[in-house]
Structure 1
């Protein structure tokens, strides 16, 4: 199987598309496609055990550290949105076995002494709210699942309006009320306060967003490479045996037809 064909197989497995017409109905299970291969129990319930076993067979050695990618961004910044939708999410879809992602939705915001509005944001109050929503989503779901929800939000015409539908699509077990309670309660502020401290502690200090660190370090060279092709950079930085997605090596998977 050539690289483009492998990417299609992996994308269909994780994206949960129906294919063409009704030839590939969705498994009747209570988990979203992104979680089908998280455990043997889920794979069996969703009737994708064979596909998950094949996918696991071509995964890299998990003893080798993954490439750690941390993105400092703003929810309504056009450049941040572009990077998430055009670089970060597609790369993670293909290379999630060799990379880990940490999302920090704060960017150029400022923390101020005000009980009613403790933060100001570069793109106004709507961005402060969207930043906090995404912070709460990250807290409640974890970075990997949150990335899918945030990708859905950031690729929409209206980030804030897309929040609830995207949450329902990718994390149906997480209620909107839990996110809303986080945003409007003390927890949301505490999360943003933590992100403010993390962002201020950057060395060198960030001068723009999106701002990227790899394995905890920032270099202008890596930023340039990531802007051009994050996919190629992650493949380059990974120290283990390169996965087929990086090398284009043929992979034998079972074939089935209707």
Structure 2
């Protein structure tokens, strides 16, 4: 059974603050809860793992592809990623995929987000943890300890300041510069590789509703409801 990241995030985030509410027998980090039937049973999420695996197997259409071009310290980007994109992904992970491209209006310089995405399957929750905290950079170590305890902050920083970090940043720079139309601000959202003013407005108003409406397969139960949150704070390159 493959790791079901969105399920693990939903289970983890539903726990009370400061407590995972997991059985004492569960010693695995979140990334391994659904890695086997045994670990799922030890961590009390066997039913959820099996249900999520069943939904994935019976998916009837290609997922809606959502890409976010952003800057790690841009307030509007942080609000959108933490308050809109991540919650939508947790609820609609069966019908959407997410690509994060941290670069935006920046010049090519070290950025830990790139290395985190290259070094662990738990990159999205780690980045969410950082972007939703008061101190994005300062929270990195504690976020790593929660979601990827085997990955140290020293390894991430070594990557970010080394050749690999620069290569990853350059890749994102090329992806950002290849956007058509060219991006004018961040957060900049593409849906299935396309950006229009209408898609951007709908994504910022309710990404949840947009993904549900654009999915061409059988709608999941979650799409029976709506989530109205509006974010329209941009960081321009002026």
Provide the aligned C-alpha RMSD in A.
Answer: 2.6
Q: Does the CA-based 8 Å contact 1:14-1:34 persist in structure 2?
A: no
Q: Does the CA-based 8 Å contact 1:18-1:25 persist in structure 2?
A: no
Larger Cα-atom Rg: 1
With the length of structure 1 as denominator, give the TM-score of the two structures. 0.76
Counterpart residue number, 1:175 = 152
User: In the TM superposition, what is the alpha-carbon distance from 1:56 to its structure 2 partner?
Assistant: 3.9
User: In the TM superposition, what is the alpha-carbon distance from 1:46 to its structure 2 partner?
Assistant: 2.6
3-state SS of paired residue (1:224): helix
Q: Does the CA-based 8 Å contact 2:130-2:139 persist in structure 1?
A: yes
Deviations 1:92-148 (A, max 9, x none): 11111111111000000124xxxxxxx4xxxxxxxxx5xx10110011114xx2111
Residues 216-231 of structure 1: pairs in structure 2 closer than 5 A: 216-231=193-208
* Bigger mean CA offset, 228-237 vs 53-62: 53-62
Measured at CA, do residues 236 and 39 of structure 1 come closer, stay the same or move farther in structure 2, by a change above 3 Å?
farther
Counterpart residue number, 1:115 = none
For structure 1, the 5+ residue unaligned runs are 1-8, 112-118, 120-128, 249-258
Deviations 1:39-63 (A, max 9, x none): 4353134342233224444557335
Counterpart residue number, 1:15 = 13
With the length of structure 2 as denominator, give the TM-score of the two structures. 0.82
Measured at CA, do residues 202 and 209 of structure 1 come closer, stay the same or move farther in structure 2, by a change above 3 Å?
same
Q: Does the CA-based 8 Å contact 1:60-1:243 persist in structure 2?
A: no
For structure 2, the 5+ residue unaligned runs are 1-6, 226-238
Deviations 1:161-194 (A, max 9, x none): 0001001111112222321220121100010011
